[in-house]
Structure 1
């Protein structure tokens, strides 16, 4: 039998029979908001890299935290939807600005690190998101406790490394942190589905979870690539 003669329905790949139609519509809003956040974060990062108008990471951190607290304090309702989208946009823009110093460091080491890290993050995020969407419902929710425990251990190790100053421990921290964040993409995606199935349609807040996952993975990949590039340059000398 000639494989090329077979009729392949690629629309089947876009069907999620285990997810209700209302939740599928909710996911469309979540990912549309996510796309908006990515554009605004890219705009914030680009402006900061080009004009260096706000290099104080503490100020951008305060701005991001202020926006997220404002969003938390604004109830989810139809009347507040436009306001909450604006707050979300401000949060994404501040987050992008906060990437400025890390981006500048990568540019100094090797500018190609940034597009490589962005592409790698996009591939990782897409693959793990699709895995969560196609998998049986609630199949990855058990990861929640494991991931939180892993983050706690990483926090303790990072505090310990402030005293030790070990480069090896820092590298291990970055690689394990990357694996944990990949797990969070699986967990958060399925958690969003479950919340939506049970009536929680706050797509703006659900977008925040995925956006933070993406940004954290992007940061870690940038740092890992930058470290590897520095080691290569040292070995060549």
Structure 2
């Protein structure tokens, strides 16, 4: 059943000229069980983001973020995936710990943002939240499995990013290459928000109701998008400051 029939009714030309608010709440393809599962997933995701914000705050207090916290985050995620689904409390605890360590790991970037322009930090977070909500909502409203085919293309995109990063670390990189990695990486991970949302819905339809693992998947997507948006905004802010200084010197 087409999820967009409430927006554009092909049988009635007059209905093509307008849509109603009720059409935005059309989740008839998603069963009540899956809807309940999605609520658990997004609630757990919000808790993980709060834990990540706590990790950022702890880094600002004690400067704990770095390579060790990154490895600790990966260790928590691997531990979570290796545990059986019935060990719910332990797995939720590991997800919160992973969020905490991830927040500490991006703490240096947040410190830099506060030093350059504190308003950029909040703008980047709000922008990430809006983009995440829009693309995730689009995946829910679309037909089942409609965007899952993009998974292969996005995996290829991640592979390209890894090879570019590897090549730039050996042969040296340019500013143009760095910009390409940023914008292309942002495009890839925004795509993953759509694909992972549909993948979670499809798995839930098939009986996989592991909300902790699904929340961790969306958490990694959110952080990847946030980091890239923040870096892009910081680069733009620095360029604007340079332009202002140049204009002052000319005057």
How far apart, in 1, do the equivalents of 2:138 and 2:151 lie? Answer: 16
Q: How does 1:71-110 map to 2 (within 5 A)?
A: 71-77=80-86, 80-110=87-117
Q: Which residue of 2 aligns with 1:5?
A: none
Equivalences, count: 226
Post-superposition shift, 1:122? 0.5
Gaps of 5+ in 2: 1-18, 246-251
How big is each residue's C-alpha offset from its partner over 1:139-195, in whole Å with a ceiling of 9 and x where there is no partner? 000100000001101111112222232011101110011011110000000000111
Match of 2:136 among 125, 129, 152: 129
How far apart, in 2, do the equivalents of 1:175 and 1:83 lie? Answer: 37
Post-superposition shift, 1:229? 1.2
The farther-off stretch of 200-209 and 11-20 is: 11-20
Match of 1:172 among 164, 180, 186: 180
The reply on whether 1:65 has 2:92 as its aligned counterpart is no
SS in 2 for 1:112: helix
Q: How does 1:180-195 map to 2 (within 5 A)?
A: 180-195=188-203
Q: Which residue of 2 aligns with 1:227?
A: 235
Q: Is the 8 A contact 2:58 2:64 kept in 1?
A: no
SS in 1 for 2:143: coil
Post-superposition shift, 1:47? 2.3
**TM-score, length-scaled by structure 2:** 0.86
Match of 2:30 among 19, 31, 35: 19
Post-superposition shift, 1:108? 1.8
Q: How does 1:190-229 map to 2 (within 5 A)?
A: 190-229=198-237
How far apart, in 2, do the equivalents of 1:53 and 1:108 lie? Answer: 15
Post-superposition shift, 1:12? 5.1
Aligned Cα root-mean-square deviation (Å): 1.4
SS in 2 for 1:140: coil
How far apart, in 1, do the equivalents of 2:54 and 2:20 lie? Answer: 38
Post-superposition shift, 1:10? 4.5
SS in 1 for 2:187: helix
Post-superposition shift, 1:52? 3.0
Match of 1:35 among 46, 59, 63: 46
Larger Rg belongs to: 2
How big is each residue's C-alpha offset from its partner over 1:18-52, in whole Å with a ceiling of 9 and x where there is no partner? 01111111111101101111111111112212x13
Q: Which residue of 2 aligns with 1:47?
A: 58
